[in-house]
Every structure is written in C-alpha cells, then in structure tokens.
Amino acid sequence: MDSEDPEQALDLLEPDFRYLIALPGREATGRSKADFAAYIAGRNAVEREHKILRHSSDGDLETVYGVVTESGKAVGSFLSAAVVTPEGRMARYQSYFTTTYDLIDLPE
C-alpha cells in the first residue's frame, strides 16, 4: 500500500476479505475486497511508509508491529494481524494505529 500503485495490494486479498483498521478517533471497516479498494482510494496522498520492526506467525495467523513514517518522520506505531489462506492471500485483517504510544522504542 505504500507504493506508487497501492491498488496492487488488492491482489493479496480474498474476494470476501474483511477488515478493521482502528485509527485515532475512528475505525475503518469493510466486508469485501471492493470495500478495501474504496478505503485505499480514500487515503490522503502523502509520502507514507510502514516500517515493520517485529513479525511472527502461528499457523494461518501473521502479526506485525511497526512504525509509520510520513516524509521520513515517525508519526505513530501499529500492531496488525492477518489470517492468511493456504494460497497466501489475506482473508481477515485487523490493525491498530496510535500516535500516542510505542510498544517498542522507535528507531533513531
């Protein structure tokens, strides 16, 4: 999603993909790949990057923790989990983003 073509992330989703993205003051939810496409299209265009600091997996569940930067400056951190199908596509996704707390010290 951080690339110049964020829609390419849609190739990694099951058609009945469901998600919850908890952002400061609001939540974005959806029950389809089309809903997520609309979410991506509605994001403001900034120089944003998600840098993964930790990751793990257990069976079909993958988790990541990282920091979000905008124009190279850290603006917050996220903890995300996804259920991944045997074909390698996401079926479910849940992510929490905060600008007020870091579980792991941010890199310098």
pLDDT tens track for 18-48: 999 999 999 999 999 999 989 888 877 668 8
Q: Is residue 104 part of a domain?
A: no
**What CATH number does residue 85 fall under?**
3.10.450.50
Q: Is residue 105 part of a domain?
A: no
Structural domain including 16 reads 6-98
Q: Is residue 108 part of a domain?
A: no
More confident residue, 36 or 4: 36
User: What is the biggest distance separating any 2 CA atoms in the chain, rounded to whole angstroms?
Assistant: 39
Q: Which of 3, 32, 21 is nearest to 94 (CA)?
A: 21
Q: Is residue 54 part of a domain?
A: yes
pLDDT digits (tens, 9 = 90+) for 59-80: 999 999 999 998 889 999 999 9
**Number of domains the chain contains:** 1
pLDDT digits (tens, 9 = 90+) for 78-95: 999 999 999 999 999 999
Task: For residue 103, name the pLDDT band (cuts at 50, 70, 90).
Answer: very high
